[in-house]
Amino acid sequence: MTRTVLITGAAGGIGAATARRMAASGWSVALLDLDDRVDEVAAEIKSAGGRALAFVGDVTSENDWNDALEQVHVGLGPVDALVSNALATDRVALHEMTLASWQRQLDVNLTGTFLGVRACLADLRRDRRGSIVLVSSVHANFGLPAVPAYAATKAGLTGLTRQLATEYGGEVRVNCLLPGPVLTAQWDGISDADRAASAAQTATGRLGQPDEVAAPIEFLLGDQASFITGTTLVVDGGWSITKNSA
Ligand SMILES: NC(=O)c1ccc[n+]([C@@H]2O[C@H](COP(=O)([O-])OP(=O)(O)OC[C@H]3O[C@@H](n4cnc5c(N)ncnc54)[C@H](O)[C@@H]3O)[C@@H](O)[C@H]2O)c1
């Protein structure tokens, strides 16, 4: 029977790549994003023969989650897997950060994940085969300039992963994926020189492509990862394991 995955932040980047990959592997995909370009991603998947349903909504809204789940149940059936991937980030040092900016990043990255997991849990628990991937970041483990709220939320997701994996262990596997530098809209406006400098900080010497993150997400969601829960998987081309020092 076809299984259904719900992916947030699926209008582009890693979320859209995950949706395309899961659909190509035979999953039905529900895509949730603030950006109505999510409709185009769903249309593209359907024209390639996949099953997809797009919902334009905000992960921070309880009403949007209720509406989305209603539509997914009607259109695709219960949710078997969840990828919490939407993000908000502002590059501002803490001493210049407004409360509104701090709060928005916590709302989207952490509270949006809480609301999504809560909305899908009954479905995910029903056959003891549910799985969740929370998309964190290498920022959870390393300090970089001007991303204090983003880093705090991404570290929060690693803790939440262990908590959820403990709480729902026999019913839902919960894992956390920590991407490093991956070429998505997040890199728009970053100069070629700065991109090259970031690529040079990886062991592989390049930035990643969204599908190179989607592939391990698919693995963690599927039955091949049936004994993996509560883990954090770094997908960063070796950014975390190499340093440059004379
Ligand atoms: N690209 C990277 O280098 C990188 C590195 C580390 C971690 N990540 C993580 O990967 C995930 C995906 O990032 P990406 O690079 O693909 O970014 P992206 O900007 O391409 O996609 C993020 C999507 O989230 C959506 N979104 C934002 N706020 C939302 C909300 N309130 N409700 C619903 N949707 C909302 C946006 O519209 C966008 O389509 C994020 O969690 C990000 O933190 C990315």
Domains identified in the chain, total number: 1
Q: What is the CATH number of the domain that holds 12?
A: 3.40.50.720
Please report the pLDDT score of residue 102 as a whole number.
98
241 in a structural domain: no
64: helix, strand or coil: helix
Please report the pLDDT score of residue 238 as a whole number.
98
Please report the pLDDT score of residue 245 as a whole number.
87
Return the active site residues. Answer: 150
Amino acid at 30: A
Atom nearest to 139 CA in ligand 1? 6
* Separation between Cα atoms, residue 162 and residue 160, nearest integer Å: 5
Please report the pLDDT score of residue 202 as a whole number.
98
Average pLDDT, the chain: 98
Nearest Cα residue to atom 30 of ligand 1:
58
Give the pLDDT confidence of 170-214 residue by residue, as tens digits. Answer: 999 999 999 999 999 999 999 999 999 999 999 999 999 999 999
Written as six digits, the tokens of 152 are 């705090």
Sort 229 into a burial class: Cβ within 10 Å, 0-12 / 13-18 / 19+.
Answer: buried
Residues with Cβ within 8 Å of residue 22, at least 6 apart in sequence: 5, 7, 29, 214, 218, 221
Task: Find, among 35, 31, 33, 26, the residue nearest to 43 by Cα.
Answer: 31
85 in a structural domain: yes
Place of tokens 């990959």: 21
Nearest Cα residue to atom 36 of ligand 1:
9
Residues in the ligand 1 pocket, defined by CB under 6 Å: 8-9, 11-15, 33-35, 58-60, 85-88, 108, 112, 135, 137, 179, 181-182, 184-186
Please report the pLDDT score of residue 181 as a whole number.
98
pLDDT at 242 over 90: yes
**What is the DSSP code string of 88-119?**
------GGG--HHHHHHHHIIIIIHHHHHHHH
pLDDT band of 244, cuts 50, 70, 90? confident
Give the pLDDT confidence of 119-171 residue by residue, as tens digits. Answer: 999 999 999 999 999 999 999 999 999 999 999 999 999 999 999 999 999 99
Instruction: Return the percentage of the chain with pLDDT > 90, whole number.
Output: 98
74 in a structural domain: yes
* Separation between Cα atoms, residue 113 and residue 107, nearest integer Å: 9
Q: Which domain holds residue 229?
A: 4-233
239 in a structural domain: no
96 in a structural domain: yes
Cβ atoms of residues 19 and 44 within 8 Å: no
113 in a structural domain: yes
Please report the pLDDT score of residue 1 as a whole number.
80
How distant, in Å, are the alpha carbons of 2, 105, 163, 172 from that of 169? Answer: 23, 28, 10, 6
pLDDT band of 26, cuts 50, 70, 90? very high
- Within 85-209, where are the H helices? 99-106, 112-125, 148-167, 192-200
